[in-house]
Structure formats: structure tokens, C-alpha cells
Amino acid sequence: MPPQVLLVDDSDFMRNLLREILEENFEIVGEAENGVEAVELYREHDPDLVMMDIVMPIRDGIEATSEITGGDPDANVIMCTSVGQEEKMKNAVKAGADGYITKPFQKPNVLEAIDDVVA
């Protein structure tokens, strides 16, 4: 069975891009537009991996990651970050993120980051 992934990004475009990169090797179990939805869908599906955007409305990716890893210390979360968000990345790691990818996404980088975390 392929690993199950939850995609979290407030941009449809970014979620579509990630889905195209991942759907060949992973099962996409849900998509969320903000951190509140992300936590709800995580609890519902218990995916193997979360691809989490940092900057989102309502609740950002750092808060959502903190809540997910607080409830499930074994959660695998990869942050999706833009160039220049190093400070936020440090906070994300403190919140329990396992790795990160930088936009714009390139398929090899995404798959490499996932291999590092899920392997």
C-alpha cells in the first residue's frame, strides 16, 4: 500500500502541483487550506506524511504542526517554505517538523525530502 499523504496549502495551485508530483507514488488522503483543517484531517486519516505550508490564514503551518506532533509524536511533517523564511523554518523545526522543501517545488527535491523523513 502506498504511503498516505495529507496536502496542506492555502493555494490551490500549490496543492495541485504537489499532487501531480506525489500521486504516482503516494495516496493523497486529504487536502486542507489552513491549519485548522489540517489538524482535523490529520486526526481523521492518520496519514504517513503531511506536506505543510508555513504561511496560511486562520492557523499557520507552525501552529498546526505543533498541534499534530503534540498529539502524535511519530507524525511526519515536511514544511513547504518560500525563500527567505529561515526564521519561520527554525520555529517549524521546534514545533516538530521533520524536513522542508522550498518553493518553487522540483520533483527530485520533493521526493528526496520525503525519502529522508519517511525512510
* pLDDT digit string, tens, across residues 82-111: 888 888 889 999 999 999 999 888 999 999
Average pLDDT over residues 51-67: 95
What pLDDT, on the 0 to 100 scale, is given for residue 80?
93
The CATH number of 4-116, from 3.30.565.10, 3.40.1050.10, 3.30.70.260, 3.40.50.2300, is 3.40.50.2300
C-alpha cell at 25: 507514488
Fill in the amino acid letter for 92: A
pLDDT at 119 over 80: no
Taking each helix axis as running N to C, give the angle between helix 86-94 and helix 61-71, from 0 to 180 degrees, rounded to the nearest 10: 20
For the chain, the domains span 4-116
pLDDT band of 2, cuts 50, 70, 90: very high
- Residue ranges with strand state E in the chain: 4-8, 27-32, 49-53, 77-81, 99-102
